[in-house]
Structure 1
Amino acid sequence: MTKDQNAELYELADLVHAVARQLPAPSNLEPGPCTPIEINVMRFVGKHPGVSARAAADACGLPTSNFSRVLRGLVAKGLVERRSDPRDARVVHLHPTDRALANTLRMREAWGAKLRGAALDHETVATVAQALRHIEAHLAGGATGDDAFQDHEWKRRTTDAG
């Protein structure tokens, strides 16, 4: 990789961090703010309802013991529901609760309002979002594209005990 490529990629990473810092969670989330690790788990469970606890822990890069602690906290806050698999009670599937879904809508509204002033057209937003999905999949060690998780973890782990 050339020096110019490294500089371009550094600038991209720096801008991603800068934008993320400008998009804090809205103050009207219930029951209140979550830790960054809880947000990471909630984001994943929200995008993959019904995921096994084991697959979610792996995808979030957390050891099982740490994931269990985070999961207990999210269940206590009423944000995640654990459901046993009707075919195998050893398997636990995770689902966002109605409270979590309401929080997602609050965040969508708040972040959408904040970004609307940037005057980006639909094509630009779609291109940037696709590029960021590819980057996220690459950094997670998975495939690229919209089905990155499907190809990387989900199919392999749907029967794992969680």
Structure 2
Amino acid sequence: MEGELADLAEAIIGVARELRLRLDSTAASDADIVELTASEAHLMRHIDHHPGVTPSDLARATGLQRSNMSTALRSLENRGFVERRADPHDARGVNLYPTDRAAENLKRLRRQWAQLMDNGLRGDRQGAAAAKALLERVEAALTADRLG
């Protein structure tokens, strides 16, 4: 069983790597897609799923070092992907929101991801929903364990 689970983790890493390599080579064909670093993509994913998150909660949830998070967040803001808004419950605080530009970029990326996955599956989507559910469950459990 241990080997099977390690093999699954290795396969996940391999698929992620291939997606990244393919996106890097196809991004040139879609000049409207803005490429993000791994840290930026990690932050954007959380902000997209949790609009209004505070910077402190974002750091805790993503597990990034504060300095790395600040650098990536500044870059996302400078490129128009994230906006800060005053916290309606605490005027001293801010909340982070994805912008329309970020949503459009994500839409284009998701379209490319879907095409790459469909190509990799050779059109056979059987089991894709179950695999997605399994991976979401694993991610949620690992995140919960890390956050304690």
1:97-156 deviation per Cα after TM superposition (whole angstroms, max 9, x unaligned): 1111011100111111122231113xx22211111011112222359xxxxxxxx79xxx
1:1-32 deviation per Cα after TM superposition (whole angstroms, max 9, x unaligned): xxxx1110111011101111121245136573
Counterpart-to-counterpart distance in 1, 2:83 and 2:31: 18
1:74-105 deviation per Cα after TM superposition (whole angstroms, max 9, x unaligned): 10011111111123122211111111101110
Counterpart-to-counterpart distance in 2, 1:140 and 1:106: 27
Which of 13, 20, 39 is the matching residue for 2:16? 20
**Aligned ranges for residues 8-87 of structure 1 at < 5 Å?**
8-24=4-20, 25=23, 27=27, 28=30, 32-87=34-89
Secondary structure at 1:9 match in 2: helix
Change (3 A) 1:61 1:70: same
Structure 1 gap ranges (5+): 144-151, 154-162
Change (3 A) 1:48 1:30: farther
Counterpart-to-counterpart distance in 1, 2:65 and 2:18: 30
TM-score by length of 1: 0.77
Q: Which residue number in structure 2 is paired with residue 140 of structure 1?
A: 143
How far does residue 56 in structure 1 lie from its aligned partner after superposition? 0.8
Structure 1 residue runs of 4 or more that deviate by more than 4 Å after TM superposition: none
Counterpart-to-counterpart distance in 2, 1:104 and 1:94: 17
Counterpart-to-counterpart distance in 2, 1:20 and 1:114: 11
Change (3 A) 1:108 1:32: closer
Secondary structure at 1:23 match in 2: helix
Higher mean alpha-carbon deviation, 24-33 vs 124-133, is at 24-33
Is the contact between residue 59 and residue 69 of structure 2 (CA under 8 Å) also seen in structure 1? yes
Secondary structure at 1:78 match in 2: coil
**Higher helix residue share:** 2
**Aligned-pair Cα RMSD in Å:** 2.1
Higher mean alpha-carbon deviation, 82-91 vs 23-32, is at 23-32
Structure 2 gap ranges (5+): none
